[in-house]
Amino acid sequence: MFTNTDTAAPGNPSIWSPTHPTGWLIRDDTIVVQWAGAWDNISGVNGYSFELDTNALTIPDTIVDVVHGSAASYEETYPSLGDTTYYFHLRTRDNEGLWSDAAHLGPLVVDSSVDPLPIGGPAALGMLAAAITLAGVRALRRRR
């Protein structure tokens, strides 16, 4: 009888932050990190260990913080952070107990001194539409 023993560590997922693009100075003191796509071809993915800190090369421990389930993606939120540079670190565990190498995301910068960006919302879209309309009217007047 043939048995297939899993001796390979799982593959890490993709990691990103919808609130703090890597390297940008962002005023928001809440960092959200998301990940998806971990894989293990033999025994399957079991869970994840992760940490947010100020060290670029931290390796998370071997305690599962979130069990892998049927979710398409996972998310962690870190509210009320102080001004500094943060890094998110993640390791993936398979069902044989094997751990991946650490994957890192960062720098994620919280800086309360930067001006907030006027992104999104109806007011911002309205101002953008008005600017485009005004520019178009000016261009038409110049062509006459």
The CATH number of the domain where 25 resides is what? Answer: 2.60.40.10
Q: Is 9 among the domain residues?
A: no
Same domain, yes or no: 79 and 143? no
Q: Is 24 among the domain residues?
A: yes
Cα–Cα distance between 95 and 97 in angstroms, integer?
5
Residues 82/21/51/12 CA torsion (nearest 10 deg)? 180
Q: Which residue range(s) make up the domain with 142?
A: 116-144
* Residue 31 predicted with pLDDT over 80: yes
Same domain, yes or no: 73 and 128? no
* Average pLDDT estimate for 101-128: 74
Looking at residue 134, what is its pLDDT?
Answer: 47
Same domain, yes or no: 48 and 73? yes
Q: Is 77 among the domain residues?
A: yes
